[in-house]
Amino acid sequence: MSVAVSTQVAKTRRGRRTMIVLAVAWVALLLLLPLAAIVWTVAKAGLSSVAHTLTQPDVLHAFQLTAIITVITVLITGVFGVIVAWVLVRQRFRGRSLLNAIVDIPFALSPVTVGLAAVVLFGPGGWFAPFFAARGIQVIYALPAMILVTIFICIPFTIREIVPVLEEIGLDEEDASRTLGASVWHTFFKVTLPNIRWGLAYGIALTTARAIGEIGAVLIVSGLIQGKTETATLFIYRAYEERQTAEAYVVALVLAAVSVGLLIVIEVLRHRQEKERTRT
């Protein structure tokens, strides 16, 4: 393109190029280089090292624990997320804005604080400690506390994704469904739910990523009992602290790979959501 242009146009074009380069460089430096570094390091250590790590019982248990916590978290935040979103959008009552504000609290708290709260509630001398101790249920330094803190942290995701969708869709289709004789439940499952499915899916994807990556809160409530209350992230932490760097890197890379896969799913979902929004 060797068309003559004014200095101002040329300057604008240079400016544009600079901005693009700046943006790409920023992202490359902060995000891509670290990824490249760990891929390179693990690759250098060789496939056998990877295989060795991934067959260790501690590692397998850690992955399993992460999976269990994530699934339970997704289920609970999913179901209750839909309920809360529904109540926020479709009902009018005093205290609605309060409820709305409460939903955002988990985003304002450090995960460490969340873990601490669990200790205060369920730990030795805690508010609910006698209740659970009497029934012989171990909450803190065990799976239940880890699940609870992960749920706390993931609460806003589904709600914040579903609320705008519910608002945008409006009541008409639901009204139409009722005039055609459908019960409220039938209307919800056949009309409302399909309409919010992308928002819900997106929220679930975000929840999954967050639950897999949780470290701060579980660090406090798990007790770090190797082989029993160690999630994948906790394994990485402990392994690194104990200088088992090779294993830490392998597990870290596995988590990164899973997350990237999840991200691709998220992108596809978002793309479909956009497509649908522009279609209707």
Partner 1 sequence: MSSATQSIGGRSRLVGTPHRTVAVLRHIALRGAAFIYLGALVVLPVAAIITKGFGDGFATFSHAMAVPGAWAAIRLTLVTATVVAAINAVMGTTLAWVIVRYRFPGRRVLSTVVDLPLAIPTLVWGVMILVLYGPNSFLGKAFDALGVRVLFTPLAIVLALCTVTLPFVVRNVQPVLLELDDAEEEAAATLGATRRVTFRRVVFPAIRSAVIAGTLLTFSRCLGEIGSVILVSGNRTGHTLTAPVFIFSLTSQFRFAEAAAVATFLFAISFVLVLATSKLVKTREVSE
Partner 2 sequence: MSTPIVVDGISKRFGSFDAVRDVTFTAPAGAITALLGPSGSGKSTVLRMIAGLEEPNDGRIFMGDEELTIKSVQERQVGFVFQHYALFRHMSVADNVAFGLRVRKESKQTRDGRVEELLDLVQLTPFAGRYPDQLSGGQRQRVALARALAPQPQVLLLDEPFGALDAKVRQDLRRWLDELHRELGVTSLLVTHDQEEALELANQIVVMHEGKVEQVGSPGEIYDEPATPFVAGFVGAANVLHGEVVDGHVHLGSIRIPGAAHLDEGAAAAAFVRPHDVVVTNDDDGTDAVIERVSSLGWLSRVALRLPGGETLVAHIPNDDLHGATEGSTVRVDLRNPKAFMAPERDDEDETASLVS
Q: How far is the CB of 87 from partner 2 (least distance, A)?
A: 20
Q: Which part of the chain contacts partner 1 (CB under 8 A), choosing from 46-54, 133-141, 192-200, 206-214? A: 206-214
229 binds partner 1 (CB under 8 A): no
75 binds partner 1 (CB under 8 A): no
Read off φ and ψ for residue 65, nearest 5 degrees.
-65, -45
102 binds, among partner 1, partner 2, none (CB under 5 to 8 A by kind): partner 1
Q: What angle do CA 160, 65, 158 make, to 5 degrees?
A: 5
**What is the distance between the alpha carbons of residues 95 and 85, in angstroms, rounded to a whole number?**
14
Number of H helices and E strands in the chain, helices first, is 14, 0
Count of residues in the chain: 280
Q: Work out which of 14, 90, 186, 190 binds partner 1, going by CB under 8 A.
A: 90
The 3 state secondary structure assigned to 202-263 is HHHHHHHHHHHHCCHHHHHHCCCCCCCCCCHHHHHHHHHHCCCHHHHHHHHHHHHHHHHHHH
131 binds, among partner 1, partner 2, none (CB under 5 to 8 A by kind): none
165 binds, among partner 2, partner 1, none (CB under 5 to 8 A by kind): none
206 binds, among partner 2, partner 1, none (CB under 5 to 8 A by kind): partner 1
Q: Work out which of 182, 237, 244, 246 binds partner 1, going by CB under 8 A.
A: 237
Residues near partner 2, by CB under 8 A: 172-173, 175-183, 186, 190-191, 194-195, 279-280
Q: How far is the CB of 123 from partner 1 (least distance, A)?
A: 7
Give the other-Cβ count within 10 Å of 224's Cβ. 17
DSSP type of residue 171: S
Q: How far is the CB of 185 from partner 2 (least distance, A)?
A: 11
Read off φ and ψ for residue 222, nearest 5 degrees.
-85, -25
Q: Work out which of 5, 10, 14, 24 binds partner 1, going by CB under 8 A.
A: 24
137 binds partner 1 (CB under 8 A): no
116 binds partner 1 (CB under 8 A): yes
Give the other-Cβ count within 10 Å of 58's Cβ. 17
51 binds, among partner 1, partner 2, none (CB under 5 to 8 A by kind): none
